[in-house]
Amino acid sequence: MSLSHSRMPEGNPRPSCLPVLAESGLHEFFAEHEADSAAPGALALMLAAGSRDGAWLWVRHEPQGRETGLPYPSGLAELGLSPAAVLFFRAQDVASALQAGLEGARCAALGAVIIELRGEAKAYDLVASRRLSLAGRTCGVPVVMVRLGASPVPSAAHTRWQVRALPSRPLAAKAPGPPGFELSLLRARNGREGVLIHVEWDRDARQFIPRSPLGTDLPARRAAPVSGAVVPVPLHRPGAPDVWRHAG
């Protein structure tokens, strides 16, 4: 899944944005703290909206629904997301969620697949992640695995991120600004682990733009990486902003 070079209707090109992810395959997003549990899911929805054309599948493990409630179509529209493009599936258990996500990853007509799992979810092991990664790469479908209330474990994910919410920048008359996120790259076999990026969502352009928690551009810094098996993935493409040059 890419936040750069994503397609839009002809005549309305989308500029490059951050961070840059692989077009297809498996990517994991973890909440930094329980208070940030909504941040990875929201980020995943925005990633899907910025992916290639087509409907996208959103698979949710039912315990997460009990925590946050059901999706609100008008709320999605306010974020610039099209509710009509969402295929929402409520799974009663982890195995059902993984199977539904796998079937979605095998459908080349989908623009993206999001799978939300709450808890340690032991069924999501190295074998399950390999299946998702292979299906996504084979069919060209980005797969975003959102883990809530869980610790990172070895997997076949292309990249692994930790996410927390940032305060919105106030607009005129102290109106709330666009949603902001802090992303820490935990694992990627390209020497970029630990890079920390601040982004916010531009609902009109349907893309992420770089920012700091205070709304000013700051160099990326490094956080402590964690261990785990991953599949190599390039995080820098021609034409994308060189946000990695501060990474050391």
Q: What is the CATH number of the domain that holds 197?
A: 3.40.50.300
- Positions of E strands within the chain: 25-31, 56-61, 86-91, 112-118, 142-148, 159-166, 180-187, 196-202, 207-210
Which among 116, 123, 98 has a CA at the least distance from the CA of 30? 116
Percentage of the chain modeled with pLDDT above 90: 28
pLDDT at 64: 66
The DSSP code for 222 is: B
Buried b (16+ CB within 10 A) or exposed e, 200-213: bbbeeebbbbbbbe
Tell me the whole-structure pTM to 2 decimals. 0.75
Q: Residue 227's domain spans which residues?
A: 25-232
Q: Would 131 be classed as within a structural domain?
A: yes
Q: Would 116 be classed as within a structural domain?
A: yes
Q: Would 31 be classed as within a structural domain?
A: yes
Q: Would 214 be classed as within a structural domain?
A: yes
Q: Would 109 be classed as within a structural domain?
A: yes
Residue 211: both structure tokens together: 């920012």
Looking at the chain, how many residues does it have? 248
Name the range with the highest mean pLDDT among 38-52, 62-76, 91-105, 137-151.
Answer: 91-105
Q: Would 99 be classed as within a structural domain?
A: yes
The DSSP code for 106 is: T
Q: Would 61 be classed as within a structural domain?
A: yes
Structural domains counted in the chain: 1
**Do residues 119 and 64 make contact, with C-beta atoms less than 8 angstroms apart?**
no
> At residue 226, does pLDDT exceed 80?
no
Sheet holding 196-202, edge to edge: 86-91, 56-61, 112-118, 142-148, 25-31, 159-166, 180-187, 196-202, 207-210
pLDDT digits (tens, 9 = 90+) for 198-223: 888 888 887 888 875 454 444 444 44
pLDDT at 17: 41
* Average pLDDT over all residues of the chain: 75
State how far the Cα of 205 lies from the Cα of 225, in Å rounded to an integer: 32
Which among 65, 33, 51, 232 has a CA at the least distance from the CA of 150? 33
Q: Would 14 be classed as within a structural domain?
A: no
Which among 50, 53, 42 has a CA at the least distance from the CA of 19? 50
State how far the Cα of 28 lies from the Cα of 34, in Å rounded to an integer: 17
> At residue 4, does pLDDT exceed 50?
no
